[in-house]
């Protein structure tokens, strides 16, 4: 326990030192929420790695490797990485040039009025809150395993630590500490992987004693199911606001693109390790072990506390960075999309700074309540992913590429896709849950756009093509 306590004490002293440093340095709400669009290559790479490698990487994916094998990587992690890379490669430059704060901002700029309300509520409440709750539960589990702390007390302590750091430092402190924490995360998961291989007597023994279905990319599912699931999971990452925030925070579009690609390629490589650890653990862990406890069991059993403490701190770092990112995501939505756009368009910097920190408190309290009172947070998180994707992916693509899309069609498409996704369990139809929501979204968006006109609040443009033409014109002028 002494090793664990010492590591945690040093870690949180460092985190709060950074938080206090930026508390006195940050002067504007642009700095607090988006880092003044001025972050460099290395910090963006680091924060992408840290945000991607959250509780799912260390806890859920190790457990998934244990139960279904490496096919989990091809169902969950790889689709997310590929769609994130698609977002970066295709859209990072034009999105960065818009100088926005949130994904809802894109809809507000294009359509005006209240068009950003639905994506803002989904991002701030439906996605950010249960995801934040998962981080709190994960941190409380670490406190329980390493310090013997009761889970409920651990959740309360997690709430205090997460809120304190986030309200002090905002996105600049998050990005800086993420860059450093990414190194801890890579070291931690790599150490656990190597220790697992060594404990299982090497790769030869692992391959010899592991059933082939646990080593197969399709596992027990079959190729069709793996591809279908990948298509239902992956598109969410095109509208994952954590990535959008990193694009907006980059100092220019070149940094946004290069850092984004580098960060997600490294994150993809790291993502292979937890599934592999889960598969390897089948050699020496009782097969009836709870998959959610496997990561902690392997770390505590295989490693001396001096080394295991580094792995637990890596998990703590992943949980902290995920928590702060999700809080700031929700805060950005409430401050920018709800308060400034709908209530007080001419709010001054002091008012916006105050609201930013108040909304940080609101989101964190909602996460705390969810952590205590929702018994199946994992299912809530899966619903959040599904709703976010079905409601926003096709409207986002339309805003970028299709000048004809209308405000009426976009709002109705979001509403209908949300209803279709929610009622799908009652319909008993042979179509994948998320695919059904996507179909409703796409068909309604196209048909209603063709039969409705543009409203007076719209800026009638296809953002991607207009931005491309503008960039080409600027390049010609430079020459």
353/20 Cα distance (integer angstroms): 16
Structure tokens, 156: 């309360």
* More confident: 401 or 24: 401
For Cα atoms 43, 243, 162, give the angle at the middle one, nearest 5 degrees.
70
> Where are the alpha helices (H) located in 148-252, listed in sequence order?
151-199, 202-209, 223-233, 241-249
pLDDT of residue 424: 92
What dihedral do alpha carbons 14, 17, 19, 23 form, nearest 10°?
Answer: -170
The domain limits of the chain are 2-388
Q: Given this model, what pLDDT does residue 88 score? A: 95
CA angle in degrees (0–180, nearest 5) for 63-66-67: 90
- Residue 123: name the closest of 390, 388, 381 by CA: 388
pLDDT of res. 419 = 95
Per-residue pLDDT band for 476 (boundaries 50, 70, 90) equals very low
Whether the per-residue pLDDT at 132 is higher than 50: the answer is yes
Q: Average of pLDDT values for 22-38?
A: 72
Q: Of the ranges 15-29, 32-46, 66-80, which is most confident? A: 66-80
Residue with tokens 């506390």: 305
pLDDT of residue 89: 95
- Region 25-52 average pLDDT: 78
Q: Is the pLDDT of residue 35 over 70?
A: no
Tell me the pLDDT band of 420, cut-offs 50, 70 and 90: very high
Q: Which of 94, 53, 66, 428 is nearest to 279 (CA)?
A: 66
Checking if the pLDDT of 56 tops 80, the result is no
Instruction: Say whether pLDDT at 479 is over 50.
Output: no
Per residue in 290-310, pLDDT (tens digit) is 887 788 888 887 888 888 888
pLDDT at position 378, please?
66
Percentage of residues in the chain with pLDDT exceeding 90?
Answer: 31
Residues 6+ apart with CB under 8 A from 446: 409
Tell which phi-psi region holds residue 255, choosing left (phi > 0), alpha (psi between -120 and 50) or beta. alpha
Mean pLDDT, range 241-248, rounded to an integer: 86
Q: Is the pLDDT of residue 475 over 60?
A: no
CB half-sphere exposure, 168, CA atoms < 13 A: 17
Q: Look over the chain and give the mean of its residue pLDDT values, rounded to a whole number.
A: 85
Nearest Cα to Cα of residue 229 among 443, 74, 437 = 74
Inter-residue contact 54 to 322 (CB < 8 Å): yes
Give Cα separations from 223 to 80, 181, 220, 229, 232 (angstroms): 18, 36, 9, 10, 14
Q: pLDDT for 172-212, tens place per residue?
A: 777 777 777 788 888 888 988 999 999 898 999 999 999 99
Of residues 401 and 108, more confidently modeled: 401
pLDDT score of 372 more than 80: yes
Give the C-alpha separation, 77 to 338, whole Å.
32
Average pLDDT score over residue span 49-64: 78
Rounded to an integer, the average pLDDT of 93-110 is 84
Q: CB-based burial of residue 210 (10 Å sphere; 0-12 exposed, 13-18 middle, 19+ buried)?
A: middle
Question: What per-residue confidence (pLDDT) applies to 474?
Answer: 53
Binned at pLDDT 50, 70 and 90, residue 477 comes out as very low
444 C-beta neighbours (distance < 10 Å), count: 20
In this predicted structure, the answer to whether residue 53 has a pLDDT above a threshold of 90 is: no
The average pLDDT across 321-349 equals: 83
Which of 213-227, 277-291, 345-359, 400-414 has the highest average model confidence (pLDDT)?
400-414
Domain spanning 2-388, CATH class = mainly alpha
Please tell me the predicted confidence (pLDDT) of residue 230: 84
């Amino acid at each position: 326990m002494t090793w664990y306590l010492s590591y945690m004490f040093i870690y949180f002293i460092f985190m709060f030192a950074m938080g206090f440093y930026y508390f006195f340095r940050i002067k504007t709400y642009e700095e607090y929420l988006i880092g003044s669009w001025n972050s460099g290559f290395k910090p963006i790479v680091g924060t992408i790695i840290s945000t991607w490698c959250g509780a799912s990487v260390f806890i859920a994916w190790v457990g998934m490797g244990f139960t279904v094998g490496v096919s989990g990587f091809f169902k969950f992690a790889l689709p997310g990485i590929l769609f994130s890379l698609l977002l970066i490669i295709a859209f990072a430059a034009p999105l960065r040039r818009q100088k926005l704060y949130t994904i809802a901002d894109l809809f507000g700029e294009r359509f005006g009025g209240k068009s950003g309300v639905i994506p803002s509520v989904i991002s701030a409440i439906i996605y950010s809150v249960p995801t934040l709750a998962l981080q709190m539960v994960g941190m409380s589990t670490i406190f329980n395993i390493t310090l013997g702390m009761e889970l409920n007390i651990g959740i309360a302590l997690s709430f205090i630590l997460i809120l304190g750091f986030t309200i002090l430092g905002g996105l600049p402190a998050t990005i800086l500490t993420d860059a450093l924490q990414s190194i801890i995360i890579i070291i931690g998961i790599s150490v656990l992987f190597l220790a697992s291989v060594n404990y299982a007597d090497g790769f030869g023994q692992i391959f010899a004693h592991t059933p082939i279905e646990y080593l197969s990319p399709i596992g027990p599912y079959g190729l069709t199911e793996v591809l279908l699931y990948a298509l239902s999971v992956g598109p969410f990452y095109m509208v994952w606001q954590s990535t959008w925030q990193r694009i907006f925070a980059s100092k220019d579009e070149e940094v946004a693109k290069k850092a984004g690609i580098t960060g997600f390629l490294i994150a993809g490589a790291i993502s292979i390790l937890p599934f592999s650890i889960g598969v390897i653990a089948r050699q020496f862990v009782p097969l009836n072990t709870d998959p959610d406890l496997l990561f902690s069991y392997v770390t505590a059993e295989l490693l001396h506390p001096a080394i295991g403490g580094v792995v637990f701190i890596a998990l703590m770092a992943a949980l902290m960075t995920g928590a702060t990112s999700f809080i700031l995501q929700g805060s950005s939505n409430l401050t920018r999309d709800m308060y400034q756009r709908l209530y007080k368009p001419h709010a001054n910097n002091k008012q916006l700074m105050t609201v930013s920190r108040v909304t940080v408190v609101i989101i964190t309290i909602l996460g705390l309540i969810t952590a205590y009172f929702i018994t199946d947070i994992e299912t809530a998180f899966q619903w959040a992913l599904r709703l976010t994707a079905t409601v926003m992916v096709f409207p986002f693509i339309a805003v970028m590429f299709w000048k004809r899309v209308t405000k009426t069609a976009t709002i109705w498409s979001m509403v209908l896709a949300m209803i279709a996704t929610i009622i799908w369990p009652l319909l008993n139809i042979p179509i994948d849950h998320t695919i059904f929501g996507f179909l409703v979204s796409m068909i309604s968006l196209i048909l209603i756009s063709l039969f409705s006109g543009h409203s007076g609040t719209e800026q009638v443009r296809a953002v991607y093509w207009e931005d491309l033409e503008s960039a080409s014109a600027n390049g010609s002028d430079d020459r």
